[in-house]
Amino acid sequence: MAFILGSGKGYIPPRGRYLPFVAIHRLLKVGECSFRELIEDLGISERAGRSMLKKLLKMHEDSDGRLFAEDFNPEDANPTLKIKGQVKDYWVRVKETSLMIVDRIFGSYEHPLMLGDDSWLTVFDLNAVNVMLIHMLREKVIDGRLLIIGIAKDTSASDYIRAVIPYARHEGLIPEDEKPPNLRHDRAFLTILSSVNSHLFNAPWRTISYDACFTTLVEGDEKAPLRAARQLISMERQFVKAYFQLREFKSDLGVRSPTFLYDRFYIPSVDDKFHAEITAIEGRKKVKISPYWEGEGENPLDTFILRLLLKCDNPEVMEAMGHNQLLYLADKAVKNEVKMIKGLLRGVADLELGGLSRRQKIFTIARRFRDIRREVEGARERAVMEEK
């Protein structure tokens, strides 16, 4: 529930694998309702509703009966579904648990990756905590207390060429006879396009903003303009993306800063005005998706973000030109800190592993041969210098 619903304030698409969570989201608000009332509220057919009921029953059984107040039979004509009272506090419990683990890792003097004496935090655990932290940030964004902008400098994404341009052509924003670019890299395509057509692209500029679910889509056919790239379409209205370019040389407009990508959370109060109803192919079925799509309009939030990014740029710093000076400085500060403490951490790790490896007589396989050789050669060089 926490992975899909998060705080419950965002949009959950009423289709496919997300449908049971949409039902739970609805039941969390009303407490209980009949099957007929539920499928009417969700706007789905009885056949889809029966399939949804079976999945809900499996979720109930997998949770040892902690989801619904009473068991139900998905084959009954009109069963009543009632969520247990404690389920409504799922988000509070998940947040507290996630923050407790974060505090343990960064604010405790105990081993940061151990819970208790013999329980390790796994990669899956840490990834789960990261997802919950993203949901917490999203909750603050939806509440209007925060604007978060992510900048991707080195990206090999191709969703703009694969899905955004074909759909824009389908919607008439691009002429139908316009040939698609013979490139597989969005940044390369947009950088070349702006440089060759410098008289049409005045920096700063950005592309239309679009839904992050386009990363899981490719061009379709006449029946459906888009289809899933790998059988499944990710949830729409979660994140918004756009490419941007900030600088051009006044003496030669064809010489420009690189093209970068920014993304942000979908904000209902601003972005609900910009979305499209698209028929897409998911697996072998047609589905209706409702992603964010700026299209012919102009979202003032994305225009504001472009201006904000321009203000944070400094053309005097060559390494940071075109994206964000503050991000560049923070990156350098972090790398400097890592460089300073790397030796200390390696020494602490060697103290821990050294005794174990000597006891078990596995010294030469507990560490990389390259590290051992470097230390021995370093010790020999120091000894020679001291003799001189």
Q: Please check whether residues 162 and 212 belong to one and the same domain.
A: yes
Q: For residue range 61-74, what is the model confidence (pLDDT) as tens digits?
A: 999 999 999 888 88
User: Dmax over Cα atoms in the chain, in whole Å?
Assistant: 94
Q: For residue range 115-169, what is the model confidence (pLDDT) as tens digits?
A: 777 788 899 999 999 999 999 999 999 998 889 999 988 788 999 999 999 999 9
Mean pLDDT of 77-90: 91
What range does the domain containing 202 cover? 150-323
d(CA 309, CA 257): 13
Locus of tokens 């390259």: 370
d(CA 272, CA 203): 28
Q: Please check whether residues 303 and 366 belong to one and the same domain.
A: no
Give me the pLDDT at residue 360, please. Answer: 47
Q: For residue range 173-210, what is the model confidence (pLDDT) as tens digits?
A: 998 887 777 888 899 899 888 888 888 888 899 999 99
Q: Which structure tokens are listed for 124? A: 């899956």
Residue 109 lies in a domain: no
Q: Please check whether residues 242 and 379 belong to one and the same domain.
A: no
Q: Please check whether residues 179 and 313 belong to one and the same domain.
A: yes
Mean pLDDT of 44-56: 92
Terminal-to-terminal C-alpha distance of the chain? 69
Asked whether the predicted pLDDT for residue 366 surpasses 60, the reply is no
Contact, 315 vs 304, CB < 8 A?
no
Mean pLDDT of the chain: 87
Contact, 297 vs 270, CB < 8 A?
no
Q: Please check whether residues 37 and 157 belong to one and the same domain.
A: no
d(CA 351, CA 345): 10
Asked whether the predicted pLDDT for residue 253 surpasses 70, the reply is yes
Contact, 283 vs 228, CB < 8 A?
yes
The more confident residue out of 354 and 147 is 147
Give me the pLDDT at residue 369, please. Answer: 66
DSSP state of 216: G
Which band of pLDDT confidence, cut at 50, 70 and 90, is reported for residue 362? very low
Q: Please check whether residues 198 and 309 belong to one and the same domain.
A: yes
The more confident residue out of 257 and 129 is 129
Locus of tokens 């990669």: 123
Residue 154 lies in a domain: yes
Which band of pLDDT confidence, cut at 50, 70 and 90, is reported for residue 235? very high
d(CA 205, CA 60): 50
Q: Please check whether residues 160 and 297 belong to one and the same domain.
A: yes
Q: Please check whether residues 170 and 318 belong to one and the same domain.
A: yes
Q: Please check whether residues 162 and 261 belong to one and the same domain.
A: yes
Predicted TM-score (pTM) of this structure: 0.83
Over pLDDT 70: what percentage of the chain? 91
In 256-344, at which residue ranges do the beta strands (DSSP E only) sit? Answer: 260-265, 278-282, 285-289
Count: domains in the chain: 3
Residue 176 lies in a domain: yes
Q: Which structure tokens are listed for 88? A: 């409504």
Q: For residue range 262-300, what is the model confidence (pLDDT) as tens digits?
A: 999 999 999 999 999 999 999 889 999 999 999 989 999
Which H/E stretch holds residue 227? strand 226-228
